[in-house]
Structures are given as structure tokens and as C-alpha cells.
Structure 1
Amino acid sequence: MIQIKRTFFLMNSHISGTPLLRPDEKLSKVDWPDLKKIEFPSIGTSDCLLVCAGFEDRAIETLRQTCKAGRTGFSLGMVTYLPDYEENRIKELRAISEKADILTTEFVYDRAKPTGMGEELQRFTQQFDRVFIDISGMSRLLIVQTLVALISEENGQISIIYGEAEEYPPSKDTFEQNNQDDNAGPAPSYLSSGIFEIAATPELSSVSMLGEPIRLIAFPSFAHEQLTNLLQELQPTYAEFIHGVPPDPKNKWRTEAIRRRNLLTLNELRGKKDLEASTLDYRETLHKLLDIYAERSMFDRLVVAPTGSKMQAVAVGLFRAVLHDVQIVYPTPQTFTEPGRYTLGLRQLYKVDLPTEAIKACAR
């Protein structure tokens, strides 16, 4: 089916001298905006803010900074998680919104049953002029679900708000202490432990052709179980690994450390390709994904697991919002480590105003 559609594009590449571009080619030509540093988002009374009650300090900062600046006339969509962990920052988010007298609607996101949350948020947000999505406390899968649902339907302007953390555990010293021997087997988990299941929601699925080889695109992380379980479950013929490169020079060591963390799994895999992209600048990841799509979607079934940074998950969401023949899967963690092992503090808030109309035009 995919090959037939691609052949159609090749046969009808010119009408009246005007080239016909495939959706991925259109997407690659969009003028993607840079991230802008902000103190708080300028949210108006006809706008809404989506937040999520995660573990991390940065999960509450967008709402806190916005209310501190005196902007309180907007509507708030607050996502809470199941299973319910006491460490989640839901009580703090509620306290901030109640003190500012903000009209708040709550949504429950069950990690074990994630299907449909994007559509639920889309129905809520379609009444507002602008939608601000604070991804700082969101899971990677929820980021993708939200973007795909909101971009695919008639929503207004969409802006991404992202809080960059001050500290990203583990520290270099902690990692070196736990990984003195690369061949000694798995080291203690830093972020999560075990995999509940490889989640694949209907709204992010694609059609599988009989005998079509699977090409997995994944982002290695310190949670080494994610990559191991993805390979065991999917049995891909090929794999492309996008290794994240932090923007802060003091964190550059993490790229090679994550390679070491996943060394045993990576060494066992044939037919793999290693790439690198910024963990902050979503455009680098998006263009890597588009390059893979242009080269391989005609021959392979592309399956993407957004296991990298949150801004890399934004790139995956933008990618999948237009290219519906791509399958999204996610290795859902079974348990989480104590909050002290997650990111700490807030270094900087960023905003990206998505070119929503240009993105929608790519799918036409």
C-alpha cells in the first residue's frame, strides 16, 4: 500500500509544470521556529494552559511563574496520572490554581490504558483561541498523543512550553561509580525499573503489510530496559538509534555514558545505524526522522519509540501528526525510582509557537 502511494507520487510529480511534493517533503520545508527563552508565557483570557502533574520540580514552574506574574484569567487543563504516586506534584498544582482562582478541568491519564487521551484534550482545547502545552511534566507518549490530536483537528494557535531542569541525574561521578565495568551487566536503575508493556494505541497505529520488514527508530537512554524490551518485543529487521546530545557543555558526557549503558544490547544487534541530535532543539530530531522516512518508508514499516528527551518527543509528535503510516510505540515503565533521582530545579523556560497551519497543509 505504501509503495503504491509512493509510486503514484513519482508518476504524477508534475502538473502544469509544478512539482508535487510528498507530505514528508512538505514537512521538511516548513520554517520551524527556534525556542525562545521566556520568564513566563503570555496567556490571555481566551486561552488555555495544559499542565501535567509529574514528579519533577519543573512540572509546576510554568503555572507558578505565570500566576506570580499576575496572569490568571485563563483556563487550565490539568492532567493527573494513574497509578497515583504520592510524589506527583498534583497537590501543589491544585493549590496554585485555587489561590489564583483559575477555572480548572482535570483529566486522568492511566499509563496502563493510555488510549484516547489526546482526543479528550483536543475536545477540551478546541474552544480556546490559543493552547499552551506545558510538556515539562508529561510522559513522552502523552506528548506525542497530545500533539497528534491537537494538530490533526481544528484548534487555534498551539505553543509548546518547556522547562529545562537545573540538574539531570545521574551525576557523572555516580554513573562512573556504578559502571566501572562495561561488561559487568546492568547497573542499578536511575529513573524507572522494569517495563509494564510496550504500549501501542489505536490512534498512533499504522497498517502492517505482510512480510514488510520493521525498521525501529528509538532513542537510547539511561533506562536501558526500554531498548532491551523494544528489541525483544518488536524483533526489528533494522534499527536506527538517535543518541541525544545535551546543549549544556557540562552534560555532554551523557551521550557517551548512555551508549555505555546500552552497550550489551547495542553490540548484539545487526543492521543498526547510529545518529545524533540535540536533546533541546527539536528541529534536529525532526529532520533526522524525515531523512529516514524519505529513504526507507517505501521499503520498511517505520516504528518510532519516543524514548529520548521531551523535546525529542515533540519532534516525534510533529512527525506523526502528518505521516500517518508511521507506528508509535512506547515501553511503559513498571515502577519509578524515588523523586530524588529525577531532574531537579528549573534553569530556563522556553516557548515554541508552532506553525500550525503550515503543518496541517503538509497533510493535504
Structure 2
Amino acid sequence: MEEIPSVSDLTMTLDGIVLAAGFEDRAYAALERSRFRPDARCVLIRFVNAVPGNGQVFRRYRDAARERFAEGAIDVVDLRHDDPAAMERDLGQVLGQLPRATRHLGLDVSGLPAYATCMALKALRTKRSENPLTVLYTAALEYNPARAEYDELIAAAGDEIELIPHSMALEMDQNLQLDSFSGYRSQNAKTCLAILAGYEAHRANGVVEETNPSLLLLFYGRPGDASLNWRLDLSRRLHRKFEKARRTATETVSTLRFEETMAALEHYYNYLIDDYDLALAPLGSKMQTVAAYLFWERYSETQLMFPTPIGYDPGRSPKGAGSTYATTLEPRSLLFRGSWRDSMAEFRSD
């Protein structure tokens, strides 16, 4: 993989940030490391669910935000487990009320589930369509499953792994289909399902069973750190049963450089769109989810599907905060059929 360009600090100063009050250590990094104007605004996305300790986590985020932002400059938007679609509307209302001087916002995707990332991007790109948006992402230091668990699974199972490794997400609940991303379904066309594959094959299985696609595309993620290439092998083994059972095409794309995922999706789109309805399920990395949204933004006839778990186990969350990466999207009016930056820059703020 081409080396990620590194800079000594975040070169831009943000007018505000949108981020989630999540359990992962890395979800604090962008709040702590970014540069903000004195009158900058912060929008905290609060999870409203039954996960133990959720309230305590939110209070910690609120206290951390108060150290960086002035009194009255912090807004809270709820992401409700029983009504997730309301977040897009509520975030849009908050964004619409921000001062006109709040032009350059950042969105930290590190602590957001895929469906919330897409709703946040849509709200930001709609309400602030004339302004650039900086997407921030922080890598974890330790991920689940760990290397030791991978080695055990390989020793026990070999080429194809049936046993699903433990993860932060619990068992499958539903295929969340939000009206905002429902796409267009023709009457006669066959369905092509594209899965940005991660390590939760049970969720992939749920969306495959519900969609029953005529053609399956599996996009496996190549880690930015070569020492994590075993995770690519694990993902392939977990999903190999789908390759054997269905008409399938596979690709390997970066987990970090979202433009690789965009380019691969567009390659297949150009070949298939006349004969297939395309559905896309982002189950891979955070930045691949950003790619899924941007692809939908260009081709809104695509349907985004979000296989969601019944809940989360905070004890299995990724540990630590590694490098933070930033990429700035041009205003939507320019990007809609245009281009985007072809890399993400690492930054550190001392």
C-alpha cells in the first residue's frame, strides 16, 4: 500500500465538529486533537439505548466537550435505538440553526455505526451543501477479534471458518432500511447485493437471506497497516461460504482510502446497472462506510441496507487510540459529479 502522507498537525482550523459519545477509546481522539476557532460549535450524538454505562459515557463526553467549547456552544442530538431515523431530522435542525460563520465542520466517524454515519453525512451534506466537510477517523490500537483468536480459529477450522469470532456487536437483529436510502427498485430487474465485508458474517448472512440476490459482490478490506493483513485473511475465510453458494465476484480494497472503494463500486455499477437493481450493505471499516454514502450520493437509485445487531458489548470494543486521519470533501455541489481527494492525511496535535 502507498504510504499515508503524514503532517505534524491538523493544518485546518475547524468551525465545529459532529461526533458520537461512544464507548470506544478512539472516539475521544478527534475532540482532543483537532484545532477549533474560539467560537466553534460542537454537536454530540447521544446514544439512547439500554447498554449498561451509556449515561456515564455520555457525561464524560459532555465534560470533555466543555473543556474545548464555550458555554452554550454544545448541542446534543439523540440516536434512539427504537427510532434511529429521527437522528437525521434532528441533526438537520441543529445544523440549520448554527451561525452562518460556522462554515467548515468536521465529522468524526470513529464512534458511529454505519447507519448513523450515513445519516450524519446526509444531514451535513444537505444542510451545509455549500461548505466543505472534513471527515475525521481514528484507528484503534487493538481490535477484536485479536490475533490469538484468529490463530485458534485457523487451527481448528482451516480454509473456511464457521465459528463466528466474538465482537462488540451482538447477534443479528434486523436489516435496517431507512427511507432516506431506499433507492429505486424496478419491477423486473434482478438484484445485485454488494457487501463491504468485515468480520461479522452473521450480519452478512442476514442481509443475503433477506435480499436473495442474483449476484453477490464481496469487497474485502485491506488494512492500512501491513501487520494487520491477517484480518483480511480472516474476513475472506468467514465469508467463503457465500462465494461457494452463489454467483459471486470479489475485490480487495483499502479500509482507509475510501476512493478505492468508490472506484471499485463504480466499475461494477457501470457494467450492471442496466440489468440489476443494486443494494449495498456497509459492514466493513468506518471509511468504507463513508465510501458507501458518497456512492449513494452520486447514484441515489442504489439502496443502502444496514444489518444491525440487537445491541453491543462495550467490553469487546476496540482499545486505545492510534493515528487520526483527516480528509476534506469539497462542497456537495462540486463533488456530486466531480472528484475527491485521493488520500487521507495523518495528523497529530500536541
Structure 1 length-normalised TM: 0.82
Aligned position for 2:44 = 78
Q: For the residues of structure 2 that align with 1:65 and 1:189, how far apart are their CA atoms? A: 31
Render the CA deviation track for 1:52-108: whole Å, top value 9, x for unaligned: 011210111111234xx6865311100011314234532221111223453111111
SS in 2 for 1:335: coil
Alignment pair present for 1:60 and 2:28: yes
Alignment pair present for 1:242 and 2:219: yes
Instruction: Give the 5 Å matches for 1:156-305.
Output: 156-179=131-154, 180-182=156-158, 185-268=162-245, 270-305=246-281
SS in 1 for 2:336: helix
Q: For the residues of structure 2 that align with 1:38 and 1:202, how far apart are their CA atoms? A: 42
Distance change (3 Å), C-alpha of 1:213 and 1:136: same
Aligned position for 2:302 = 326
Alignment pair present for 1:139 and 2:113: yes
Deviation at 1:249, TM superposition (A): 1.0
Distance change (3 Å), C-alpha of 1:184 and 1:302: closer
Alignment pair present for 1:311 and 2:287: yes
Distance change (3 Å), C-alpha of 1:355 and 1:36: farther
SS in 2 for 1:60: helix
Give the one of 54, 68, 75 matched to 1:105: 75
Distance change (3 Å), C-alpha of 1:65 and 1:175: same
Deviation at 1:176, TM superposition (A): 1.8
Deviation at 1:206, TM superposition (A): 1.6
Give the counterpart letter for 2:214 in structure 1: T
Which stretch shows the higher mean deviation, 241-250 or 161-170?
161-170
Which stretch shows the higher mean deviation, 102-111 or 115-124?
115-124
Q: For the residues of structure 1 that align with 2:216 and 2:134, how far apart are their CA atoms? A: 32
Distance change (3 Å), C-alpha of 1:184 and 1:260: closer
What are structure 2's unaligned runs of at least 5 residues?
A: 340-350
SS in 2 for 1:219: strand
Aligned position for 1:4 = none
Which stretch shows the higher mean deviation, 105-114 or 218-227?
105-114
Deviation at 1:358, TM superposition (A): 1.8
Q: For the residues of structure 1 that align with 2:305 and 2:36, how far apart are their CA atoms? A: 40
Larger radius of gyration: 1
Give the counterpart letter for 1:172 in structure 2: R
Give the counterpart letter for 2:39 in structure 1: G
Structure 2 length-normalised TM: 0.85
Give the counterpart letter for 2:41 in structure 1: S
CA contact (8 A) 1:83 1:111 kept: yes
Q: For the residues of structure 2 that align with 1:79 and 1:312, how far apart are their CA atoms? A: 21
Equivalent residues, number: 324
Aligned position for 1:28 = none
Distance change (3 Å), C-alpha of 1:343 and 1:41: farther
Give the counterpart letter for 1:355 in structure 2: E
Q: For the residues of structure 1 that align with 2:126 and 2:299, how far apart are their CA atoms? A: 11
- % identity of equivalent residues: 20
Q: For the residues of structure 2 that align with 1:229 and 1:35, how far apart are their CA atoms? A: 38
Give the counterpart letter for 1:168 in structure 2: Y
Q: For the residues of structure 1 that align with 2:320 and 2:9, how far apart are their CA atoms? A: 15
